[in-house]
Amino acid sequence: MAEILLFHHAQGLTDGVRAFGDTLTDAGHVVHLPDLYDGHTFEELDDGMAYVRSMGFATVLERGRAAAEGLPNDLVYGGFSLGVMPAQLLAQTREGSRAALFLHGCVPVTEFGSSWPKAVPVQIHSMDGDPEFVDSGDIDAARELVESADDGELYLYPGDQHLFADSSLPSYDEAAAALLTERVLAFLDRVG
């Protein structure tokens, strides 16, 4: 069993993010799903990003750090897209991190320190044609991170949807999301 701190994407804590958390809980894991937006959700990614820009990325990171307070250090830190930022910050900098799970995003490790902690396993998922992942350089950051970790996996799925694992969004891809979930559950069983 793993204990997971899972952060939502730029559209907020949607029903699809909650459903993903429920899937992990149903498999026997403990999942914490903090709401970094105080209840706000957005139909469109651009609207969610505008909200983030108005409050500042530093606020997202600080709210993520605050969500970890009072929880054990040996968590799996996970995030969907924007939520990868606080998850990666915590996985890289919080002593005793168990593992990291990044869906639809990755930032260069230099954002939060000089290197990835080699002993912290990491699993990253995205579509191979997702412009948010490929064109923004996340794919390069993901490859570098996976290469630097003792236990790193990068899974690329065919397609161009960004938030394909969120069942409440039009970008949802049932087949890709099912394979992602299977791989995530195997990873959590291994690191938990």
- Number of C-beta neighbours around residue 75 at 10 A: 24
d(CA 143, CA 66): 29
Report in angstroms the alpha-carbon separations of 47 from 12, 13, 139: 10, 14, 24
* Averaged pLDDT score across all residues of the chain: 96
What are the pLDDT digits (tens) for 39-79? 999 999 999 999 999 999 999 999 999 999 999 999 999 99
Mean pLDDT of the 21-32 span = 98
Tell me: the pLDDT tens digits for 133-190? 999 999 999 999 999 999 999 999 999 999 999 999 999 999 999 999 999 999 999 9
Q: Which residue has the tokens 């954002």?
A: 111
How far the first Cα of the chain sits from its last, in Å, is: 5
Q: What are the angstrom distances between the C-alpha of 51 and each of 11, 16, 22, 56, 57? A: 9, 19, 26, 8, 10
| Confidence (pLDDT) at 114 | 83
DSSP 8-state class, residue 61: H
Which residues is 43 bridged to in the sheet?
none
pLDDT-derived band at 33 (thresholds 50, 70, 90) equals very high
153-163: pLDDT as tens digits: 999 999 999 99
Q: Which residue ranges form the domains of the chain, and what is each CATH number?
A: 3-191 (3.40.50.1820)
What sign results for the dihedral spanned by CA atoms 108, 111, 114, 115? negative
Kindly tell me if the per-residue pLDDT of 113 is higher than 90.
Answer: no
Nearest to 121 by CA among 184, 71, 68, 60: 184
Task: Report the relative pairing of strands 30-32 and 3-7 from DSSP bridges.
Answer: parallel
Amino acid 12: pLDDT:
97
Of the pLDDT bands very low, low, confident and very high (cuts 50, 70, 90), residue 192 is confident
Residues 109-116: what's their mean pLDDT? Answer: 91
pLDDT above 90 (res 97):
yes
How far lies 185's CA from each of 3, 27, 32, 36, 191, in Å? 12, 8, 16, 25, 10
CA distance 57 to 17: 20
Place of tokens 């250090």: 73
Whole-angstrom distance, CA of residue 22 vs CA of residue 4: 12
- Neighbouring residues of 67: CB distance < 8 A, sequence distance ≥ 6: 5, 7, 32, 34, 36, 86
